[in-house]
Structure 1
């Protein structure tokens, strides 16, 4: 070794300091560690270089230092950083195998207390640890007890941090432990008990394993099953009458007419005067192009006679689509987005309009993010744009050209993994937070759950954003547990029930484990980071292909689960979740509504026929179709209401962007206790969908015009008609 050979080696490696010791040792770095100071005399470096006896290369415990720095960077011996913002150092603790805190990040060059703790803080973790210098862990207090971690001598945490050499970042199997003690906690979870925690109840065993559940304007629920899941002689299509309860032989009506496989299709409720349901896409061959329709008839307690209608030879999509999303646009037509060309096939990175209007529109961003963007989330924004969220990206589209208007910030995922996602297969769930009269606050989207890529943990957070504001950004809120394949049901009081899914894995057959049996109530009326309550548990695993929708009586119908994992069953049982408002002991209010075909911003009278007291409010909930965590069409608004005694008036919301046209359920609330719903149509049928598609298989058509008489009562008023289904 020579001075030249050592300095060259260090410079070539990108270092600014070269040091020689014991004649043959060469050290490189960008700073002097451990408070290194000049020796008292140059003569203490008296060892000749092994490769050149005319040069000196340090000495015993002495270094000859060469540097391009001026002045030389010298760092003192590392010690614990006692305070970082609202974080306080708790001491050195044991950690065997990285088991104390679950979320691990590695930063080989920049790890420091500031870097690590800021990450944990951003994602809502109030405990953190640093280990092996470069490792950062985020978690919760209970992780210390579960792992059996104990205090360790401070001398055992002695490794400096690569991003802050004067700070200590643990040591092997030792954590430098920090706790958030700021003025405001990073999260507050509520722990209601008894009736305040809600309750799961078994409703009825079903004839199929639903893949899609969709409330209908007749007060019933459409349930659809993919081919090959249920019994060989089943049509895969049933209608549930929730007013009948647990009588399996009378609660279901079997429907015919579906000719192709609805496996991973999309669903919407049309704005025509019949409130027809449409189902779009499917699994393979003709199913991919499927356009299927059902006109709900009958009423609660009374059988209907209509069936599904389909003819792929006369009405079909332009592109075959497996895992697409549908959106009812502000002009009354439908936007169909994305998917794959058959089972695990190539992407379909484009969009089309139904009824057909021009060619498909290519979307390069869907091509670039395949296969992590299936069932993208779509929203009509108050600004007139269309919000789309797919994988870990989001943007706003022009509603006419479908070109990108705004690229929004990347969607956060896990504290350890920015490459995690929110749409299938890293399946989370999205809703819109309530809009309140006069609708001056920006609309916010809320997405809960999803999955990281590595490791494949479910995400333990929700993210929200107001896309229409000038500089939108995502807010991260901790959830009490991890959840992938999550579902979220909007409730008529403005809260949201998060349920179903698993803690580990991703969506798909046999790809997830550890069912999440707990329900969470999210209340957007509370301050952010304080909105989640840990509710009741179920005993039924709801994994892949599970759903949740609110019924007209305010209960949440929980259905499905088709994991095919040889661990959890394929689930025929239907449950209901009773939110606290149904367990309060206060009777639900009742009301009469003379008109159910509304124009935007018009006033409509209704009469409260019974109420136990409390201020009268109205919520309007958009018709939804639930599958794979996507609640297509879901939206909730609280319009202006005035009352004089029991005579009340509600002002229809603004349209077509605040409240897009379509069918809504009107709930009257006395305080926070909702009535049974009545269905109203808002904004008419400007696209004339009531006259489409005019082919024999889809006739008779409902036509275009007013809805007619108000909805039938939501309680059973006629004798039950016997039903039967094939077992």
Structure 2
């Protein structure tokens, strides 16, 4: 085997990405995607997170789902096997209604908040719960009074320190927040630490009454600071969690309200080394008033909140308004928007089952794909046949498909109605998997050929990755993705970082067999430590599977 420098690599048709990628050749008539109904979740999926390449963990609120816990109570949490479409119930004792989650740096998920008691469950308002998916037969452990005060609709984020931030919420369930129940504080949980004390956060007072599930994104920097962009209602701040101070205020986002119950969506767009990991946040959808006939906002705003002269750059959301949209960062560096409705706002239906009045209607069946580089929308995609409204979710899978589930715009399980409790799981196949091009195959990472368990890597490490390329004229890109914790149009800690490919070695006897040197992100502010996935693409076609990795500080 021999090392090929950049010019011969280009001559051979293998391109390496260390900056914004060139656009690969596109077929004359690109496919439009595909929807497949693949399984029965048995548990309504109000909250989900992908634990590895095979499993999605699901969490609901208290209601009579299709399966039971070992103690006979209705199961409100379970594990969905992507390969077999089977479900294993998990055990909980506290109500998880409208909670949140994010991973510690050691791979344990912290889940926090909830609601009132019922159906054999205890109150969950102050509960914290822990689960480590890598454990054999993993199950929940709980501290029912773990938090000092109650949190319903909190936000959460994995921090560069490896700790987890919990922010905001209210003392009980509500349509919109009010001063009597508002919890305008945050707390930071450490691995194995005690009960933290809440810290006041003025934005969650200033943004009343639309401050529940505030948008929250950790910001990259090269000063090892724990900075985050926090947004609620129509405005936000950059905050330093080490110093406990507001660094800057961000201008108001025009158009309307973006937070629950006029629920929009916020995503940190892919971070690129060629742009020095410049953070750009994109907030889309929402509404102007709590009125069931009010059209959802067909607008988005993009902003770099760290820019001293930060201003919103507006977009039309592809031409369709959505309330309660979900966003999924795709391996190609584009964003999939799906789910939600075109009128109304978040909440349960009113009136009797046989004559319900839904607060949100006109489902948005057709997904859109947004290209952050060209700022263009792909809107001519195949629509789903399932309405995904209140309490819908979606997440990226190992092979580049997207798993979609949920929708339950009523207080209890209801079937046979216009928008029933939805247990059907769908798989969306994006157009990049229908080009006819062959997927590359990852054969080793950091010397390991065991690729279904997390491989530890360190920041700034150059990791050797061997692949079999997909095409003769290859165009290779790589990215590290945290697939996040999804609920209520939020992807807590969802994150995409493009990686530099610094060199390639190919086998002269088999030019499809290539060894890549891939540089990991430079520090924990770019992507916090803990579980992530390495994706390799050839001409925008993902490898047959992603590799679970665990980012760690160097010893």
TM-score between the two structures when normalised by the length of structure 1: 0.62
Instruction: State whether structure 2 residue 206 is matched by structure 1 residue 374.
Output: no
For each residue in 1:262-298, what CA deviation from the matched residue of structure 2 results, as whole angstroms up to 9, or x when unmatched?
11100112210xx222211111363011111122148
Alpha-carbon contact 1:200-1:576 (below 8 Å) kept: yes
Match of 1:276 in 2: 108
Between the aligned partners of 2:30 and 2:39, the Cα distance in structure 1 is 22
After the TM superposition, which residues 9-24 of structure 1 pair with which residues of structure 2 at under 5 Å, given as runs? none
Per-residue Cα deviation, 1:682-707 (whole angstroms, up to 9, x for no partner): 134x9xxxxxxxxxxxxxxxxxx9xx
2:146 is equivalent to residue 335 of structure 1:
no
Question: 1:287 corresponds to which residue?
Answer: 124
* Pairwise CA distance, 1:579: 0.5
- Measured after TM superposition, the shift of residue 399 of structure 1 is 2.0
- Deviation of residue 224 (structure 1)? 1.0
| 2:224 matches 1:386 | no
2:89 matched residue in structure 1: 254
CA distance in 2 between counterparts of 1:602 and 1:297 reads 24
Greater relative CO, 1 or 2 (CA 8 Å, sep 6+): 2
Contact 2:46 2:487 in 1 (8 A): yes
SS in 2 for 1:577: strand
For residues 294 and 635 of structure 1, the distance between their equivalents in structure 2, rounded to whole angstroms, comes to 21
Tell me: CA distance 1:354–1:582, structure 2 relative to 1, closer, same or farther (3 Å): same
Q: CA contact under 8 A between 1:212 and 1:625: conserved in structure 2?
A: yes
Residues 664 and 559 of structure 1: CA distance in aligned 2, closer, same or farther (over 3 Å): same
Whole-Å separation in 2 of the counterparts to 1:194 and 1:343: 49
Evaluate the alpha carbon distance shift between residue 454 and residue 375 of structure 1 in structure 2; reply closer, same or farther with a 3 A threshold.
Answer: closer
1:320-358 alpha-carbon deviations (Å, 9 max, x no partner): 100001111121211111001011271111111113575
Q: Secondary structure at the match of 1:253?
A: strand
**Displacement of 1:551:** 1.0
Q: What's the offset of the Cα at 1:231?
A: 4.2
User: Aligned match of 2:380 in 511, 523, 534?
Assistant: 534
CA–CA distance in structure 1, aligned partners of residues 337 and 59 of structure 2: 22
Tell me the equivalent position of 2:17: none
Partner residue of 2:38? Answer: 203
Are 1:677 and 2:514 matched, yes or no? no
State the Cα distance separating 1:583 from its structure 2 match: 1.4
- Using the TM superposition, give the Cα deviation of residue 665 of structure 1 relative to its aligned residue in structure 2, in angstroms: 0.8
Do 1:439 and 1:658's aligned partners in 2 also have CA atoms closer than 8 Å?
no
Give distance in 2, aligned partners of 1:545 and 1:295.
24
Q: How does 1:29-40 map to 2 (within 5 A)?
A: none
Structure whose CA Rg is larger: 1
Q: Is residue 522 from structure 1 mapped to residue 370 from structure 2 by the alignment?
A: yes
Q: Quickly say closer, same or farther: Cα 1:267–1:441, change in 2 above 3 A.
A: closer
Please, what TM-score do these two structures have when normalized by structure 2?
Answer: 0.81
Q: Which residue number in structure 1 is paired with residue 425 of structure 2?
A: 574
User: Per the alignment, in what secondary structure is the counterpart of residue 367 of structure 1?
Assistant: helix
Alpha-carbon distance in 1 for matches of 2:235, 2:437: 44
Give per-residue Cα distances to partners, 1:603-645, cap 9 Å, x unaligned. 1101003523422211110141110011011110111112122
Q: Secondary structure at the match of 1:230?
A: coil
Name the residue aligned to 2:84: 244
Q: Is the Cα–Cα contact under 8 Å of residues 457 and 503 in structure 1 kept in the other structure?
A: yes
Partner Cα separation in structure 2 for residue 629 and residue 554 of structure 1: 20
**284 and 367 in structure 1: CA distance in 2 versus 1, 3 angstrom threshold:** farther
Paired residues of 1:663 and 1:681 also in contact (CA < 8 A): yes
Q: 1:498 deviation in Å?
A: 0.4
In the alignment, does 2:183 pair up with 1:348? yes
Equivalenced residue count is 472
C-alpha deviation, 1:531, in angstroms: 3.4
Single out whichever of 590-599 and 456-465 deviates more from structure 2.
590-599
Alpha-carbon deviation of 1:470?
Answer: 2.0
Of the three residues 194, 207, 219, the one matched with 2:54 is 219
In 2, Cα distance between the equivalents of 1:389 and 1:535?
A: 31
* Counterpart residue number, 1:73: none
RMSD over aligned Cα atoms: 2.2
Unpaired runs of 5+ residues, structure 1, are: 1-191, 246-250, 299-303, 414-419, 687-704, 706-727
Correspondence for 2:7:
none
> How far does residue 426 in structure 1 lie from its aligned partner after superposition?
1.2
Partner of 1:406: 248
